[in-house]
Structure formats: structure tokens, C-alpha cells
Structure 1
Amino acid sequence: MTLATEWVRYGKNQEYIGYIAKMDRVNENLPAVLVIQEIWGVDKHIQDITERFAEAGYLAFAPDLYAKAEELRTERVAEVKAFLDTLPHSVWNNPDEREQALRELEEEKQNRVTKTFERMFSGINSSDYIEQLLATSSFLREEYGASKGQGVASVGFCMGGALSAQLACRDPKLKGAVIFYGNAPQDEDIKHIQCPVYGFYGDQDKRISDNVPHLAEQMKQNGKSFEYKIYQNTGHAFFNDTRASYNVASARDAYQQVLQFFHQVLNTETK
């Protein structure tokens, strides 16, 4: 069975856009998986993940969180990604070393990369992203013809993993949330979570994985459902098969676990 894919506009004033995928010969309304992008945007990799969930029988939707920002156009983000790929990963978050590498670029490119980098990495906790995600889950539950009346669950990667957790804190109707190597929500927000949460992490991704036991304890103290796996000999972004960090064994296992999780939380219709 082939997939039907398209970019659709939504929101009160059609101000948002997202990439949608579903099996083209399925006529009944489907439960929805909201796929939240990495910091690189809704690129080919995120579109591919969206299509994988559609092939698994869901209406899959990846909102483009960058669509309204000039500095975050696809080609600008790709330019930053190409620049960072020339550097050791340890340099990414080291301002002095990063600035030294930037100074080696020609001036016009240096200005573009600097502006886009600052916009990308300063916007991770943007309230605008959460507002769009809330509008997206509402759109999928209440308006979009192929998923109306069905449950919605979220999955996000890196930046999107953190946003998936934040969405769980803000959307009481969300059926489930999956975090792939994303930062945990604030402790004070955890009490608002109404759905099961599942997290996937790499043991070498210390900046994030070292905080997972604290998140687990906070979820337990607040009576929330939280499962997680920390994969051995695995780093950050292990699910991204376009990058050197990809770990096929960890990614394969995580994908199987995610499908089981979605089957559990999305197996009943939203009334």
C-alpha cells in the first residue's frame, strides 16, 4: 500500500504548515502521531520518520516549527548543519572554539551562519513552538478529516524530544508522549502531565542521560507513568540514520518499543 503525503496549512488563520502522511487507501479516521522535529527542521529525515509511522497505520504529522522565520529557511539551516559537521561535536557548545571556526568563513557566509545558529539554538524553549504544537494536536483531534475524533500521541527527537515532554505538560488530552534524547520538563510542570511518557537515551549522551533518574523520581513522586531505556555504547541522536551518531541496534529496538507504546495508548478512540 502506498502513502499519500502532502504539506497542509492549518491554524486559525492558516498560519501554520506541516508535513502529513497516511496510507492512501485507508478511508477510516486514524489515530495520529505528532512527530516533532530535531533542531534541523522538518528535513528529509523527519519526513522519512513521519512516513514510517504512517506505514505502521497511523496518521502521521510533522509540524514545521521554522516555517515563519526567514533565518530558519531550509537552505539556511542546511548551511549551519554543514558547518557544524566540519567540527568535533564537543566544539558545538564551546563558544570560543566555535567563534574561531566561524572566523575562518568568508564574511557573508559567516554572518548568515551566525544569525541562523543563534536563532536555532536560542529558540529551543520558544513558547511559540508550544503554541503551534497545541494547535497541531487540537487540529488533528478536532478538525483534520483523516484523524478527527481519534487520539493523538507525540514523539520528538532532541529539541523535539524536549518539546514532546513539554506538550505532555500542556495538553491534557494527549494520549502519550515519547522523548528521544530530549531535555526533561521542569519539575514544577510534571504535575500537569496526564498521559504515559516513554523516554529513549544513550549512555554516552551524559548531558541528557545523567538527568533521567531525577526525571523518573519526579514522575514517580507525582504519580505519573514513565518508562525509559538508556542504551549502552550509544550517543546522542542515535535514531538519526543520516548522521555518524546512528546506532542501528539501539534504533531498531527503540522503534519496536515506540510502536508497542503507541499501540497501547492509541488503541481506543477519543470520544
Structure 2
Amino acid sequence: MKKIDNKDINPQVFKLYDDYAHNRMERREFIEKLSLYAVGGLTLTSLMSSIMPDYDAIQIAQDNPELNTETIEYTSPKGGGTIKAQLSRPKDAKGKLPGIVVVHENRGLNPHIADVGRRAAMAGFISISPDALSPLGGYPGNDDDGRTMQRKRDRNEMLEDFISAFDFLKNHPECTGNVGVVGFCFGGWISNMMAVKVPDLKAAVPFYGGQPDDEMVANIQAHLLLHFGELDTRVNAGWPDYEKALKANDKAYTAYVYPNANHGFHNDTTGRFDKEAAELAWKRTIDFFRENLN
């Protein structure tokens, strides 16, 4: 089914999806409310098709011949025990590479975030993309069940899982030891918190991520690049106080707000995807990592 152009979808539809995707609305209620916007030439089926993830939209295949991509396991002593992750790096690398930890949203390591990990590798980094659902059996193959599973885990334990991924990558024989983190939504919060908790972290890039408490900001040593969608009022509400604390503590940061972009604008598998904003934000991200990890 052909997807509806974003400009033809009522903005309230994206707000409904945001509530649903962040566990503030059950699926039944979401569908009932979504049906109210199935008017004119729009059907409920076409709306669902346009806003729900389509994992055929993958940019870098898992078996891409230019990459060495594998599933590895590492230990997270303070988190969930044994964590599975995708490890990816370019085959033609000459010497050691800087590293990037790629942190998923609130549904485990789905095909989109694994793809983002491979995009980082194609840009010349060694990347690790952990699955915080590993202690529960791993990403279950669909986002609905993934969200349900992730709610069963303590987010601070998951934070420790990603900090352990940093340690694994920093000490990997193919890594220079210079490591950054990029995360999306829940992963954006993880990225901010890793900047607080990990003194050796060189760079952090939260995409529309929740902010740390003001008193934590003094601990940040990493350079920050923060991406926000203009229409993402929920996450953006915390940014003024966070920016004030960053300035008060003389922290290095750059922030961008992308006009008319929704929460999740970088995710090219859902209807919230904004191609222009996503491509610009990703270019800025890679340039930022090249500047701060080399």
C-alpha cells in the first residue's frame, strides 16, 4: 500500500502515535482515536501503514560486503548480565578505529537501529549496537512486544548495560579507545546520562533525548551535540533548563532544532521521518564524531 504524504496527515495523528509509542496509550485506544482521522480519502488502514514502522526501509544490509558485521556478547556486571550486540566496522580499515555506541529507542535493538549502527561503520567507525532486551530474550521481532518487554527492565540497569558496552568497545583491539555515543529517544536519555556517568566518553549525540537533572551536569566531560524536532514539545520542554545548566557549568555543546520536525524525525521507517532534517542531522553527527574522536 502506498504511504500517505506527511503533509496530508493531521499533526494530531503524530501526537497520537507518540503517546502510543511511549506507552501512554494502549493499542486499542490508539486505533480507536486514530480512526477519527480516517476521513475523506484516508482510511484507517492507510493511516496505520503510513505511521507504523516499515523495516523494508533499510539503508545498509546486514551482509553488506564492505563491512564486517557480527553479533557479539559482553558482560554487564551492574546491569543485565550478558548482553548481545551488533558489532560492525569497515573491512578495509587501516589500523584502529574510533568507536561509537549506538543506543536504541524504547523497544530493543530493532532492524532500524541495527541499520544505524551499520551506517556508523560505513562512515569509518567501529560501532556497537547493544540490545538491552537481551536478559529477556532479545528484541522479539516487533516493536509492540519490544516496548512491553522493555518496560519490564529498570532503566538505570539498562544504562549500566550501555556503559558496559562503552567499556567493551574502548578496550576492543580494533578500537583506538576514543569512543562516543549516539542515541534516539530513550537512547537520547542514555546518551545524556552516559555523558554524566562516563568521564572517558569523548562525545555524546542525543537525538530528542530526555535530560539529566541539573545537579548532574557538572559531571559532564564529553562534548555534546543535541538534536531536537521543533514539534516535539514533550522533550523540548526540558531543554531550556538543561541548556541553562550547561552554560552555568561551562560545558561544550551545540544544539539544533529542526523546523517542522517531529519527535523521531531521524527514523526513516515511520511516518514521522523528515528526510531533509534526518540527513542534515546525521551529517552533523558524523562530522562531530570525526572532529571529537580522531
Q: TM-score, normalised by structure 2?
A: 0.73
- Mapping 1:11-160, distance limit 5 Å: 11=75, 15-70=82-137, 73-75=139-141, 78=142, 80=144, 117-121=147-151, 123=153, 126-142=155-171, 144-147=172-175, 149-160=176-187
Is 1:209 matched up with 2:246?
Answer: no
Say what the alpha-carbon RMSD is for the aligned residues: 1.9
CA contact (8 A) 2:69 2:86 kept: yes
- Provide the secondary structure at the position in 1 that maps to 2:135: coil
Which blocks of at least 5 consecutive residues in structure 2 are unaligned?
A: 1-64
Aligned residue pair count = 227
Structure 1 residues 229, 29: closer, same or farther in 2, change over 3 A?
Answer: same
Which blocks of at least 5 consecutive residues in structure 1 are unaligned?
A: 81-112
Report the residue type matching 1:128 in the other structure. E
- Provide the secondary structure at the position in 2 that maps to 1:244: coil
- Provide the secondary structure at the position in 2 that maps to 1:4: strand
- Provide the secondary structure at the position in 1 that maps to 2:97: coil
How many Å separate the matches in 1 of 2:192 and 2:238? Answer: 14
Identity of aligned residues (%): 28
**Other-structure match for 1:92:** none
Flag as ranges the 4+ runs of structure 1 deviating above 4 A: 116-119
- Provide the secondary structure at the position in 2 that maps to 1:15: strand
Quote the offset at 1:204 in angstroms. Answer: 0.6
How many Å separate the matches in 1 of 2:147 and 2:205? Answer: 26
Q: TM-score, normalised by structure 1?
A: 0.79
CA contact (8 A) 1:202 1:230 kept: yes
CA contact (8 A) 2:106 2:147 kept: no
**Other-structure match for 2:67:** 3
Quote the offset at 1:205 in angstroms. Answer: 0.5
CA contact (8 A) 1:209 1:230 kept: no
CA contact (8 A) 1:36 1:157 kept: yes
